[in-house]
Structure 1
């Protein structure tokens, strides 16, 4: 059973006042060597590891493919499920601004004439993966299989996704089990759109992109001069730009490494941000599960312990790209890592990125 504090989305995190030491020249030289090693180990056509320490940035890029016309660190990359960190912050901002409470039944948001029932799926359930919904909606695989190597999500549009949710209830009583669900977070996006009367792209732009100055972030590809090209598992065959279909809130964000660092730096130093309250709130644990409550989650992040304090992270993947975002308040470090090769068995990219941040 899940356990969520009643003060969600909560008070300031317990690591808010950590004061890590500033790095010296020797640390910076060692960091450059580690970045170069991480890029080489990742074994993908295009790789960027971008680190911020106390606001000082270091980026290293490379890959197995010839360098593109635009520097790799200036391209926009598909971050897949790491988009949920943007969605969690957006929802938390709306709650802190009094627009929403998080307790709204999703059914009532999507169809005000429909009764919510005694145990409704709320917006809070959807963002914390405790809605009782499966990972993907009914009928998804049947529609997606013909386009499995290209754009399967594009074949499941928004009206089909919300219609499926309104016709079929959750598999389990909301709030009793944790199950990671792209479906649930996507329903959240459409429910928030409906109740606010604002398109998801506009909400994201107003609540996250503009306030944080993220001009290199979008929900869809523009062209090859702007967006990185993904590749299949072989690392050679290009794939089309990812189309999230009705799953925008769960995985549509594409962004430059510099924008991703700016996003993470705001989490490390909320005090100077127009969204300070929401940034502090998304650090607060809202769910503890597993033996000894070892698996800790916030509204937007997975949270793991380190020797110095908690580490926050989220990964994501599309049909041809991968991303890892994370930050550590105890060391003042943020990491944004991206690559353009589809995840495969024993893929080194995610483990390298996780170990890099954990080792900070």
Structure 2
């Protein structure tokens, strides 16, 4: 694996270049029919696909359940781990603004009085899943088990996340191994909050959501109004699930957002020029590490990055106890795709792979 801290100074030359693909535009009836066919094929109570091609948008929605009181495209959906792409952009914004460097000790940010561990785990390690932390704290499962089918994360508050991190000792040097970690990104959110003396949700709102005009994107802790929220379902596709409570893992999975906000978020990554977050948006797309056989798996600060025939595509998925989400974009075709559904992930569930395939093939 390659890729270290101190930190993604800017995108490689040509990163924002787009090449004409000859693919259909969003107002092409064949493209609309294809999206409708995918929506019809998904076995979930509520399904939504939102596409942007060079800024022109197309939304198709449906599902096996009766239509909710509000249009599906106006609801807020739980995006689970796709929240990490927002936290990644927050980190790069804070680095660009000189608030943090990304290379300081996360433990020192949380508790300046603690003796420094060597080598330190940094914010850069935490966001790129190279901190050496496991997916979840060792004692998470015992605490979460009584609420495993309702809201397990709610039983593990921020104070326990911080304590578990400060006592953890990894067997591997930070920056040497990749392991996807909700724990690590949760710690990052707490560390950034400590560094700025501002709760993560307020920090995200002022540094990312408001500058991008994302007024329909909220963490549950910051907005108790649930009238606009889509209702998740369990694996049976019928039983409602409680609204997801991320507990101390806010930065790793707490956000709910409207499809239009998610498209706006992705469009900002496609066309960062002129944005108040331009430097951060460019930085968050830069590849920072490779892993696996032949280093075929490429990661940026906040996105998985895979090759296509026309150029790289960037994506991240997420899931809660009753909803699934896929976010992705392709600079070569100027395309952004949001896919959402309200059914818990099941074994061999095709929803995320179908969304990935839609973005990867370019609709040519």
| Shared fold per TM-score greater than 0.5 | yes
| Residue in structure 2 matched with residue 17 of structure 1 by the alignment | 17
- In 2, are the aligned partners of 1:41 and 1:348 still within 8 Å (CA)? no
- In 2, are the aligned partners of 1:15 and 1:310 still within 8 Å (CA)? no
Q: Which runs of 4+ in 1 moved over 6 A?
A: none
- In 2, are the aligned partners of 1:42 and 1:352 still within 8 Å (CA)? no
In the comparison of the two structures, how many residue pairs are matched?
A: 359
- TM-aligned CA distance change 1:146 to 1:26, over 3 Å: closer
| Residue in structure 2 matched with residue 234 of structure 1 by the alignment | 236
Using the TM superposition, give the Cα deviation of residue 20 of structure 1 relative to its aligned residue in structure 2, in angstroms.
Answer: 2.9
Structure 2 unmatched runs, 5+: none
SS at match of 2:50: strand
Q: In the aligned structure 2, how far is the partner of 1:253 from the partner of 1:141?
A: 22
Using the TM superposition, give the Cα deviation of residue 128 of structure 1 relative to its aligned residue in structure 2, in angstroms.
Answer: 0.4
1:358 to 348, 360, 363: 360
Q: In the aligned structure 2, how far is the partner of 1:102 from the partner of 1:224?
A: 35
- TM-aligned CA distance change 1:141 to 1:323, over 3 Å: same
Using the TM superposition, give the Cα deviation of residue 138 of structure 1 relative to its aligned residue in structure 2, in angstroms.
Answer: 1.7
Using the TM superposition, give the Cα deviation of residue 6 of structure 1 relative to its aligned residue in structure 2, in angstroms.
Answer: 6.7
| Residue in structure 2 matched with residue 141 of structure 1 by the alignment | 141
Using the TM superposition, give the Cα deviation of residue 171 of structure 1 relative to its aligned residue in structure 2, in angstroms.
Answer: 3.6
Deviation track 1:203-231 (CA, whole Å, cap 9, x = no partner) reads 10011110010110000164453000000
SS at match of 1:163: helix
1:290 to 289, 292, 297: 292
2:19 matches 1:28: no
Q: In the aligned structure 1, how far is the partner of 2:30 from the partner of 2:341?
A: 22
Using the TM superposition, give the Cα deviation of residue 164 of structure 1 relative to its aligned residue in structure 2, in angstroms.
Answer: 1.1
| Residue in structure 2 matched with residue 8 of structure 1 by the alignment | 7
2:274 to 272, 275, 299: 272
Spell out the pairing of 1:1-360 with structure 2 (5 A cutoff).
2-4=1-3, 8-13=7-12, 14-20=14-20, 28-220=28-220, 222-360=224-362
Q: In the aligned structure 2, how far is the partner of 1:40 from the partner of 1:348?
A: 13
- In 2, are the aligned partners of 1:15 and 1:330 still within 8 Å (CA)? no
Q: In the aligned structure 1, how far is the partner of 2:74 from the partner of 2:274?
A: 25
- TM-aligned CA distance change 1:104 to 1:54, over 3 Å: same
SS at match of 2:132: coil
- In 2, are the aligned partners of 1:102 and 1:122 still within 8 Å (CA)? yes
Q: In the aligned structure 2, how far is the partner of 1:313 from the partner of 1:26?
A: 20
- TM-aligned CA distance change 1:278 to 1:224, over 3 Å: closer
Structure 1 unmatched runs, 5+: none
- TM-aligned CA distance change 1:301 to 1:198, over 3 Å: same
Deviation track 1:172-219 (CA, whole Å, cap 9, x = no partner) reads 211110000000000000011001111111110011110010110000
- TM-aligned CA distance change 1:201 to 1:224, over 3 Å: closer
Deviation track 1:85-113 (CA, whole Å, cap 9, x = no partner) reads 00000000000111110001111001001
Using the TM superposition, give the Cα deviation of residue 3 of structure 1 relative to its aligned residue in structure 2, in angstroms.
Answer: 0.8
Deviation track 1:263-315 (CA, whole Å, cap 9, x = no partner) reads 00000000021111111111110011111110000011000000000000000
**TM score, norm. by length of structure 2:** 0.96
Q: In the aligned structure 2, how far is the partner of 1:118 from the partner of 1:73?
A: 49
